[in-house]
Chain A
C-alpha cells in the first residue's frame, strides 16, 4: 500500500527583545550562568510579572507577516508542571485566546506554490536550562536561569505538509520571515528557533488522519528532513508488519539518525491550564495595530517579485537573493552604487556565498562591502584587470578587507596591455609548440584555446584575453 505523510510543525522562536518578557533582565544569550536573573524571573515569593510591550509588538508583527488575525482580546494562562528549570512551577503561556490566529504562509516546492496554514501564534516565557552529569563536574545537576523568561513565540501550523521537503521549505520560509522582521535570529543550532513535528501517515487518497506521533529535539534544518524521513518510514514499516501506530512523543537522536520513544513518565502531564490571574487581559489598541502594520518591512515574497520586475533578475537569482534579508540588502546596496544587477547577482551567488560557505560563516559576518565589489567591477570594465584575475582579487578583498586597487598594485595584477610584451610571449609560445602549430594549421581550430591558455599561464593571467586572441590569430594565419 502507498502511504502519504501528514505533517504539522510547532515552532518556538526566541524573540530578539532587549529584555525578558515579564521583567527587566537582559535577554541576551551566552552570559555566565545565573547572572541575568532577578526575583521576578526566578519566581521568588510575592513577585509579579509585567508584560514586555516589545514582545507583544513582535508577536503582532509576526502575526501580520503570516496573514493572521490579531485577537482584540487575548490573555495569558498558566501551564503547571514541576521541573527545576521552571522556578515558579508553572510557565506563563497562552492557551485559550492566543494573540494571533488563522494565518498562512506560502512555500514553493518544485516550482509549485503551496499555502501552509498557521493555526495560531502565542507568546510564552522560556524555561531555564539544566546542566546534568559530567558537564556539571560531578554528581550534581546545575540550573542556569538566564534563559528563564526570555520571550518566545510558539507558531503552530496546520497539518498541511505532505513531505519532509515541504516541511523544510516551510521552516526555511518561516525563518526568513522572522529574520526579515528582526523578531528572531532563527539560529536552530543555538536553540533560538526550535521545531517539534507532528507526523502521521495514511493510505494515499484517504481523508481522515492516522495516529500522530510528536517528534522533539530537532535542532537543524537538515534534521527536520532526516527525522521526518525516518519517522515516516518507521510508521510505514509498523503498518506493513500489521502493527498499530502508538500516539506518543519521540525524540530525534542525531547520532543514530533515529527517533526513540520518550519515557512515558515525562509525557504523562496534566498541565492544568487556567487564566493567569497576575496579568490583565490584553486588549490591543487599534491605532497601535495600524502603526505596527505600517512599520512592517518588505517581506521575502514581495521583495522577490520586485527583484524580478525591477532588476530583471531570473526567478532563480531572485529566490536565492531574498532568502536572507542581509543578502538582499547587500545586493541592492551594490546595485544602488552602480553595479549591474545580474553581474552583482552572479558575484554573490558564484563567489561570495561560496567563500562564506567554505568558511562556514553566516552572511551577517561577511566583511566584504558592496562598494568594494562595485569598485572592482569598474576595474574590470575599464580593462585594468581581467575577469579571471578579478576572481583572485575578489577572494583577497573578502579575506583581507583591502580595496581592489590596493590588491592589484601590491600583487602586480594589473592587466598587461603592452602589445610588444604580449607579442613577445605569443612568439615564445608558438616557438615552443611546433606540433600544435602544425595541427592548428591543418584545421584543428579548437587548439586556439590551448594557445590562449599557454599565454595566460606565462603571464600569470594578466594579459588581456582579447589582445592574446588577436595576436595569436595574426601569427598563426
Chain B
C-alpha cells in the first residue's frame, strides 16, 4: 500500500491496528519526497533525520501505552511552511535575507503539534516572506503545480499545497494574509482553511502583515482540517491578538445535517473576466449544496471593489515596519558597507527580492507624513466598511459561497511581469482577511485542462464550524478531493 496517500485519520486507523509502525509511515513519505520532489520542488528543507529520531520516541510511547486516547496526529508526518519558526531547524521565509537563520525558539503551532506527537516532514517553499500568489517570488526556486509542472501551485503557501497534493506529506500548515492558504489549495486541489483572525496563535510566524496573517491547515480532506484545528487553535498567552474565546471540537459538527442552512451568494464575486470553467464549476457546486438542503440567498458585499486597494495599502504598510528588523545587524544576511548606513542599504538591497522591496516601498510611502491620512487612514476606514459588509450579510445567511480564485493555475512566468495582474489573483480571498472572518477552500471540479478548481466557503467570526460542516457535507457528496495528479 502507498502509505503516503493516507489522510491523518487513515494513518491512525493503521497505527491503531498495529499494521504499520511510525517508521513505516516515514519511510513511505520520505521515499515519496525522493521520488517526486525534484520535479515538484515543494520543500526548502526536508527534515528526514530529525523525523526518524522523533519517530523512534513516538514508537516507543505507542509500544508502551498504545494509541488509544492519543492525539490523532501521533506519528503523522506534517509539512510546515518555512515562515514558521522551528527550534534548531532552518527557517528561511524563502528569503536570501534569512538563508542561514536557525531560530532558537519554536512557534506556538508547531510546539502544540509536537506536544501531540506529530513528526515534522520538512519546511516548504513560499513566496519570499509570504508575499505573492505563485511561489515565483521565492528567493530560492519556484514550486511546480503537481497537476501540471509548467504551472504555478499558487501562493504564497504553494510549497505546502503542492506537498499535500503530491502526497509528499499527510498534511501541512500554511499561512494566509490575503489568500495564501486558500488560493494554492484551490489551484492544487486540496483543502485549505484560513481560521478567524485571532483563532490561532501567530507566535513564531514570521510576520508579513500582523493584522491579517493567520495560520491554517492544508489537508487532503475536510475532516483532517478539523482535526488539525483542534490542535493548533486556541488562546496563546504569547500572542495578545489571539482571542480568549471558547474552543469547540471542530470535528463534532462534521456529520451534522445541513438541511436549511442559508448560503449567501455575493453578487460581487461572480464577475466578468473570470475563467468560464471556474465559474461553471462553482455554480455547479452551489447547485450541489442546494441539493443537499442548503438554501441559496443572493447577498451583496458592496465594498468588495475596494478590497484589493485597501489590502495593498494596509498589508504593505505593516510589512514595511515588520521587515525593518532585517538590517544585517544581528542575524541573517549582511552585506559589506563603508559605514552603518551603507551596510543597511547594501544588506537590504541585496538580501530582499524585487517583490518584497516593492511592497516595503509601497508601505513606507503610505505611512509617510503627508500621505498617512490619504492612504493608511483611508484604508483603515475602508476596512471597517468591508468588515461591516460581512456582518450585514451574516445577519441573513450562515455561510457565503464564492469562487476561491478567478482562474485555475496559470503558467509559470505568465504574470510575473505584471504585479497588478498577480495581485488580482487574490481578488476573492482578500476581503476575508480584511474582515477577519474564517474561510475554507475545497476542491469543486476540474477545468478541461485537468486543473483543479476550488470553491470558497466563508463564515462568521469564530464560526469555523459552519464552514467545516458545509464543506464536509459537500465533500462527502463528491469525489473531487479523491482525484490525484499523475506523477
Q: Which residues of B contact A87 (CB under 8 A)?
A: 325, 329-330
Give the size of the chain A interface in residues (CB under 8 angstroms): 28
The CA of A388 and the CA of B70, in the complex, are separated in Å by 84
Check if B330 sits within 8 Å of A277, measured CB to CB. no
Chain A 251-273 per-residue mask, 1 if CB under 8 angstroms from chain B, else 0: 00000000000000000001011
Q: How far is the CA of A51 from the CA of B238 in the complex (A)?
A: 10
How far apart are the CA atoms of A48 and B326 in the complex, in Å? 16
Q: Which residues of A lie under 8 Å from residue B330 when comparing CB positions?
A: 42-43, 87
Given contacts A82-B324, A84-B340, A277-B318, contact A272 B202 (CB under 8 A): no
Q: Which of A80, A143, A280 contacts B321 (CB 8 A)?
A: A80
Interface residue B476 (Cβ < 8 Å from any Cβ of A): no
Residues B91 and A143 in contact, CB atoms below 8 Å apart: no
Query: Does the CB pair A272–B107 fall under 8 Å?
Result: no
Q: Mark B426-439, 1 if CB is under 8 A from A, else 0.
A: 00000000000000
Query: Using a CB-CB cutoff of 8 Å, which residues 212-260 of chain B contact chain A?
Result: 237-241
174-201 of chain B: CB within 8 A of chain A: none
Does B390 interact with chain A (Cβ within 8 Å)?
A: no
The verdict on B74 contacting chain A, using a C-beta distance below 8 Å, is: no
Q: CB within 8 A of A277: which of B103, B210, B331?
A: B210
Tell whether B105 is near chain A: CB-to-CB under 8 Å.
Answer: yes
A78 within 8 A of partner (CB)? yes
Contact of B240 among A48, A80, A274 (CB under 8 A): A48
Instruction: Given the known inter-chain contacts A47-B105, A274-B317, A274-B372, please indicate yes or no for A88 contacting B325, CB distance below 8 A.
Output: yes
* Among candidates A47, A274, A277, residue contacting B367 with C-beta atoms closer than 8 Å: A274
B368–A272 CB distance below 8 A: yes
B215 to chain A, nearest CB (A): 11
Please encode chain A, from 82 to 94, with 1 for each CB lying within 8 Å of some chain B CB and 0 for all others: 1010011110000
Q: Does B369 contact A (CB under 8 A)?
A: yes
Is there an interface contact between A44 and B321, defined as CB atoms closer than 8 Å? no
Closest-CB distance, B444 to chain A (whole angstroms): 34
Q: Which residue of A lies closest to B93 (CB)?
A: A45
Residue B205 CB within 8 A of the other chain: yes
Cβ-defined partner of A89 (8 Å) among B91, B105, B321, B331:
B321
Which of A47, A84, A143, A274 sits near B203, CB closer than 8 Å? A47
Is B211 an interface position by the 8 A CB rule?
A: yes
Partner of A278, one of B240, B364, B369: B240
Interface of A is mostly: loop
Contact check: which of B104, B203, B317, B368 meets A270 at CB < 8 Å? B368
| B240 and A272 contacting across the interface, CB-CB below 8 Å | no
Find the B residue at minimum CB distance from A38. Answer: B105
Q: Which of A48, A89, A274 contacts B376 (CB 8 A)?
A: A274
Q: How distant is the Cα of A277 from the Cα of B240 in the complex, in angstroms?
A: 10
Contact A47 B204 (CB under 8 A): yes
Q: If A84-B329, A87-B329, A272-B367 touch, does A278 touch B204 (CB 8 Å cutoff)?
A: no
Interface residue? A50 (CB, 8 A): yes
A28 to chain B, nearest CB (A): 22
Contact of A279 with B105 in the complex, beta carbons under 8 Å: no
Interface string of B319-363 (1 = CB under 8 A from A): 011011111011100000000100010000000000000000000
> How many angstroms from the CA of A143 to the CA of B369 in the assembled complex?
30
CA–CA, A44 and B205, complex, Å: 11
Is B98 close to A, CB under 8 A? Answer: yes
Taking CB atoms, residues of chain B closer than 8 Å to A90 are 321, 324
Cα–Cα distance between A128 and B465 once the two chains are bound (Å): 46
Whether a CB of chain B sits under 8 angstroms from the CB of A133 is no
B85 at the interface (CB under 8 A from A): yes
Indicate if the CB atoms of A46 and B203 lie closer than 8 Å.
yes
Q: Does A39 contact B (CB under 8 A)?
A: yes
Specify the chain B residue showing the minimal Cβ separation from A130.
B340
Point out the residue from A46, A82, A84, A272 that lies within 8 Å of B205, measured CB to CB.
A46
With contacts A39-B105, A90-B324 taken as known, whether A46 is within 8 angstroms of B85 at the C-beta atoms is yes
Given contacts A82-B327, A143-B329, A274-B367, contact A39 B206 (CB under 8 A): no
* Complex alpha-carbon distance, A42 and B369, angstroms: 27
Chain A residues with CB under 8 A of B372: 272, 274
Given the contacts A46-B206, A89-B324, A272 and B238 also touching, CB distance less than 8 Å: no
Query: Which residue in chain A gives the minimum CB-CB distance to B332?
Result: A45
18 contacts between A and B (CB under 8 A): A45-B85, A45-B91, A45-B93, A45-B326, A46-B107, A46-B206, A47-B204, A48-B241, A49-B240, A78-B321, A84-B329, A88-B324, A89-B321, A143-B329, A270-B369, A272-B364, A278-B207, A279-B241
Closest 7 CB pairs of A and B: A89-B324, A277-B210, A272-B367, A277-B211, A46-B206, A45-B206, A46-B204
Excluding A43-B325, A82-B324, 13 further A-B contacts by CB distance (< 8 Å) are A44-B104, A45-B101, A46-B204, A48-B202, A80-B324, A84-B340, A89-B325, A270-B368, A272-B368, A274-B367, A277-B210, A277-B211, A279-B241
